[in-house]
Amino acid sequence: MSLINDTTNLAMQGSLDLRFRRQEMLSSNLANLDTPNYQPQDLEFEGALRKIRHNETSHVGIDQTDTEHRTMGNALYNGDDAVVERPDVLNSVDGNGVDLDREMARFADNSMRYSATVEMMRRRVGIMNYSIMKMGEPG
C-alpha cells in the first residue's frame, strides 16, 4: 500500500467528498427557504461514510453496476440511499419545511468539519514531506 492511498487518507478523502456534497444540499435548502412545499434534504453522513470505509477496507473489486452509483475515493455508493428528507418545520403555512436557524447551524457545522479535515490532511502531508527530507539528509 502506498503512503498516499493508506486507509487514513482514503477515509479523509471520502469524508471531504461527502462534506462537500452535504454543503451543496444545505445550500440548496437555504436557497429554497421561501419555496412553497419545499422539504429540505440532507445527507446521512455517518452512514454514507461507514459504507465508503467498509468498501475501502474490503479487498473485493467493486464495479460500477448502475449509472446512479457515484465514485467517492475508491469506493462506490448509491447517492440516493444516503439522501433523506428532513423537514424541521411541520406546520408552516406554505408547507415549507426549512428552519433558517437550524439550517444555518448545520451549514456552519459542516463547513467547520470540512475545514478541520482539510487541516488534518495538510498536516499529514507536511509530516510526510518532513520525513522524506530527513531521509534524504546525509548521516
Give 83-123 pLDDT, tens digit per residue. Answer: 889 889 988 999 999 999 999 999 999 999 999 999 999 99
Residue 1 placed within a domain: no
Q: Which three cell numbers stand for residue 133?
A: 527530507
pTM of the model: 0.71
Residue 2 placed within a domain: no
Residue 86 placed within a domain: yes
Q: How many domains does the chain have?
A: 1
Residues 39-65: tens digit of each pLDDT: 999 988 666 666 666 665 554 344 455
Range of the domain at 79: 7-134
Residue 71 placed within a domain: yes
Q: Which residue has the cell 477496507?
A: 57
Residue 139 placed within a domain: no
Residues 7-35: tens digit of each pLDDT: 888 889 989 999 999 999 999 999 999 99
